[in-house]
A and B are shown apart, each in its own frame.
Chain A
Amino acid sequence: MTLYDLANPTRFLKLVKVVLPWLIVATVAALAVGLYFAFFVAPEDYQQGQTVRIMFVHVPSAQLALMCYAMMALSSVGSLVWKHPLADVSAKAAAPLGAAFTFLALFSGAVWGKPMWGTFWVWDARLTSFLVLLIMYLGIIALWKAIEDPIKAAKVNAIITLVGVINVVIIKFSVEWWNTLHQPPSIIRSGGPAIHSSILIPLGLMALAFVLLFVTLHLMSMRNEIMRRRIRAMRMRAASAAPAASSSTITKAAPAGAR
Chain B
Amino acid sequence: MSWMKSLFVREYQLANRVGGGALIGVLFFLAVVTIFPFGVGPDMILLSRIGAAILWIGALLATLLGLDRLFQADREDGSLELLVMSGRSLELVVLIKCAAHWAATGLPLVLATPVLSLFVGLDFQSIVLVTLTLLVGAPALTLVGAVGAGVTVSMRRGGVLLSILVIPLAVPILIFGVSAATAGAIDSNNFLVPFLFLCALTLFGLVVGPLAAAAALRVSGE
Interface 9-residue window, one of B38-46, B79-87, B150-158: B150-158
Closest to A172 in B: B172
Q: Which residues of A contact B167 (CB under 8 A)?
A: 135
B168 at the A interface (CB under 8 A)? yes
Instruction: For chain B, residues 168 to 222, give those with C-beta under 8 angstroms from any C-beta of chain A.
Output: 168-169, 171-172, 175-176, 179, 197, 201, 208, 212, 215-216, 219-220, 222
Q: Which residues of A contact B144 (CB under 8 A)?
A: 163
Q: Which residues of A contact B208 (CB under 8 A)?
A: 163, 166
Q: Indicate if the CB atoms of A171 and B164 lie closer than 8 Å.
A: no
- Majority SS of interface residues in chain A? helix
Contact of B168 among A143, A162, A164 (CB under 8 A): A164
Contact of B179 among A139, A140, A159, A178 (CB under 8 A): A178
Q: Indicate if the CB atoms of B175 and A174 lie closer than 8 Å.
A: yes
Alpha-carbon distance between A164 and B179 when the two chains are bound, in angstroms: 23
B26 at the A interface (CB under 8 A)? no
Q: Which residues of B contact A174 (CB under 8 A)?
A: 171-172, 175-176, 197
Cβ contacts A153-184/B at 8 Å (1 or 0 each): 00110011011101100110111011000000
Q: Which residues of A contact B158 (CB under 8 A)?
A: 146
A: interface residue count bin:
20 to 34
Alpha-carbon distance between A201 and B167 when the two chains are bound, in angstroms: 39
Say whether, besides A143-B165, A171-B168, A178 and B175 are in contact (CB < 8 Å). Answer: yes
Q: Indicate if the CB atoms of A160 and B165 lie closer than 8 Å.
A: yes
Contact of A163 among B155, B161, B164, B212 (CB under 8 A): B212
B interface residues (Cβ-Cβ under 8 A, vs A):
144, 147-148, 150-152, 154-155, 158, 161, 164-165, 167-169, 171-172, 175-176, 179, 197, 201, 208, 212, 215-216, 219-220, 222
Some 20 contacts from A to B, beta carbons below 8 A apart, are A132-B171, A138-B164, A139-B161, A139-B164, A139-B165, A142-B164, A143-B152, A146-B158, A147-B155, A155-B216, A155-B219, A159-B215, A160-B165, A163-B169, A170-B172, A171-B171, A174-B171, A174-B172, A175-B171, A178-B179
